[in-house]
Amino acid sequence: MGYLYAITRDTDLSEEIYQNAAVVVMEQVGKTEIIRDFRAWAKEVVRRQAFHAIRKREKASKFTRIVSPELMDVVSVAFLEDQTEVMTVNSESAALKECLNSLPTDKRRLVALRYESGASFTSISSQLDSTPSAIQRALSRVRKLLHGCIQKKLRLAEEGS
Amino acid sequence: MSKRPNNESINRDDVEALILGHFEGNLDPDQEQQLAAAISTSTESKTLFLSHMRMEGRLRSLGYDGFLSAENAQASGGQEVGEIVAPSIQIGSKHPSQPATSSLRIKRPKHLPRSRFWVAYSSVAACCMLIALVSWGLWPSPVNADSILRKAQLAASELIDRTYRITTSRSDDQTRTRELMMSLGGGGRFVIKPAGGAYVMGHDGSDFWVTQRNGPVWVTSDFPNIGSKLGSKIPERRLLELVTSPDEPLSLGISELLSLIERQYDMELVESETVKEYRIRATTKSNRANYPAAIDLWSDVESGVVLRIKARFANGRQRQFELIETAKLSETWYHYSEHAPGKEIERIHTTN
Q: Do B23 and A6 contact (CB within 8 A), yes or no?
A: yes
Q: What is the pLDDT of residues B52-61, one digit of tens each?
A: 999 998 888 8
- Cβ-Cβ contacts under 8 Å, B93 against chain A: 128-130
ipTM over the 0.85 cut-off: no
Distance CA B51, CA A150 (A): 10
Residue of B27, B55, B105 best to disrupt the A interface, most CBs of A under 10 A: B55
For residue A79, give the nearest of A28, A25, A34, A39 by alpha carbon.
Answer: A39
**Quick one: average pLDDT of B103-125?**
46
pLDDT at B96: 40
Q: Examine the domain organization and report whether A55 and A109 are in the same domain.
A: no
Residue A77 pLDDT grade (very low, low, confident, very high; cuts 50, 70, 90): confident
Do A112 and A153 share a structural domain? Answer: yes
**Chain A touched by B92 (CB under 8 Å):** yes
Beta carbons within 10 angstroms of residue B136's beta carbon: 8
Give residue limits of the domains in chain B: 12-68, 157-345
Distances (CA, A) of B257 to A60, A128, B13, B65, B231: 24, 49, 37, 37, 24
A49: β partners = none
Query: Which residues of chain A neighbour B78 with C-beta distances below 8 Å?
Result: 102
Question: Which of A79, A118, A130 is nearest residue B91 as measured by Cβ atoms?
Answer: A130
Question: Is the pLDDT score of B31 beyond 80?
Answer: yes
A25 in the same domain as A56:
yes
Are A75 and A7 found together in one domain?
yes
**B72 or A102: whose pLDDT is higher?**
A102
Pair A29, A57 in one domain: yes
DSSP B4-67: --TTS---HHHHHHHHHHHHHT---HHHHHHHHHHHHH-HHHHHHHHHHHHHHHHHHHHHHTT-
- Between CA B292 and CA B286 the distance in angstroms is 9
Under the banding of pLDDT at 50, 70 and 90, the label for residue B305 is very high
Examine the pLDDT at B2 and tell me if it is beyond 70: no
Is the pLDDT higher at A13 or at B228? A13
Q: Which of B25, B46, B159 sits opposite A36 (nearest CB)?
A: B159
Q: How confident is the model at residue A149 (pLDDT cuts 50, 70, 90)?
A: very high
Residues A29, A98 within the same domain: no
**Cβ contact, residue pair B123, A23, below 8 Å:** yes
More confident residue, B348 or A149: A149
Nearest CB to A144; choose among B16, B60, B68: B16
Is there a single domain that holds both residue A23 and residue A65?
Answer: yes
My answer on whether A94 and A74 are in the same domain is no
pLDDT at B111 (0 to 100)? 45
What integer pLDDT is reported at residue A99 of this predicted model? 92
B342-352 pLDDT per residue, tens: 888 888 765 54
Q: How many CB atoms lie within 10 A of CB B350?
A: 13
Q: Which CATH architecture has domain B157-345?
A: Clam (2.50)
Domain that holds residue A101: 86-160
Q: At CA B186, angle to CA B165 and CA A23, rounded to 5?
A: 130
Q: Is A27 on the interface with B (CB under 8 A)?
A: yes
Confidence grade of residue B303 (pLDDT, cut at 50, 70, 90):
confident
Last residue of a domain, one of A63, A81, A99: A81
Pick the residue from chain A with its C-alpha nearest to B66. Answer: A116
Give the pLDDT confidence score for residue A87 in this predicted structure: 82
Q: Determine the Cα angle at A82 with ends A35 and B158, to 5°.
A: 20
Return the residue in B81, B117, B184, B204 with the most chain A beta carbons within 10 A, the one to mutate for interface testing.
B81
pLDDT at B92 over 50: no
Q: Which CATH number covers residue A107?
A: 1.10.10.10
Is the pLDDT reported for residue A109 higher than 50?
yes
- Is pLDDT at A57 greater than 80 in this prediction? no
> What is the full DSSP assignment across chain A?
-HHHHHHH--HHHHHHHHHHHHHHHHHHHTSSPPPSSHHHHHHHHHHHHHHHHHHHHHHH-TTS-PPPHHHHHHHHHHHHH----HHHHHHHHHHHHHHHHHS-HHHHHHHHHHHTS---HHHHHHHHTS-HHHHHHHHHHHHHHHHHHHHHHHHHHHHH-
Query: Which residues 76-115 of A are in CB contact (within 8 Å) with B?
Result: 77-79, 82, 84, 89, 92-93, 96, 99-115
Residue B230 host element (H or E): helix B226-230
pLDDT of residue B326: 87
Q: Based on the fold, state whether residues A123 and A146 are members of the same structural domain.
A: yes
Predicted pLDDT of residue B55: 93
B254 within 8 A of B321, measured Cβ to Cβ:
yes
Q: Kindly state whether A141 is in contact with chain B, defined as any CB-CB distance less than 8 angstroms.
A: yes
Question: Does the distance separating the beta carbons of A142 and B89 come in below 8 Å?
Answer: yes
The domain boundary residue, chosen from A81, A105, A123:
A81
Chain B residue with CA closest to A120: the answer is B24
Of A26, A54, A81, which closes a domain? A81
